[in-house]
Amino acid sequence: MSQTGKLMPNLDRNSTKVLNLTVLQRMDPFIEEILITAAHVTFYEFNIDLNQWSRKDVEGSLFVVKRNTQPRFQFIVMNRRNTDNLVENILGDFEFELQAPYLLYRNAAQEVNGIWFYNFRECEEVANLFNSQMWVVGVLFGRPIEELFP
């Protein structure tokens, strides 16, 4: 039992990842792998006309996932505020900028959003994944780099 009196499962990192993958696959059976996780994030949207940020009704754990069909990559926030989880497809025109602890991005609908990370290190790790060459090639071509350059 934890100090708050709640029963807490004693799961190792791998067991937690398997459990999270199972939950995500119930939502989307095409998810094959969790690439990275952030324990707690909050979303903001930018209003271009007003030149200001406003908080969206989305916060929870963020998962960057690989799928076995198009779109090959997404990030998902299992929303703790309501039943609407946030799902963003990561396509070839995905743009982002790191301003830790924020990750700013433009989605396919050309909306500018910001993700605030509770954990600064997790913010940097997600940005590093998005910057990696293997990631960029996979997003652009929808296939692992090994398949493109045998």
Strand pairing report for 52-67 and 31-47: antiparallel
Domain span at residue 30?
Answer: 13-143
- Burial of residue 137 (number of CB atoms within 10 Å: 0-12, 13-18, 19+): middle
The identity of residue 24, as a single letter, is: L
Q: How many domains does the chain have?
A: 1
SS3 135: helix
Per residue of the chain (150 residues), give pLDDT as tens.
445 556 556 667 788 888 999 999 999 999 999 999 999 999 999 998 999 999 999 999 999 999 998 888 899 999 999 999 999 998 777 789 999 999 999 988 889 999 999 999 999 999 999 888 556 666 666 655 555 554
* 8 domain-assigned: no
Which pTM was predicted? 0.82
Q: What CATH code is carried by the domain that includes residue 82?
A: 2.30.29.30
Task: Tell me the CA distances in angstroms from 11 to 8, 70, 133, one per residue in order.
Answer: 9, 32, 33
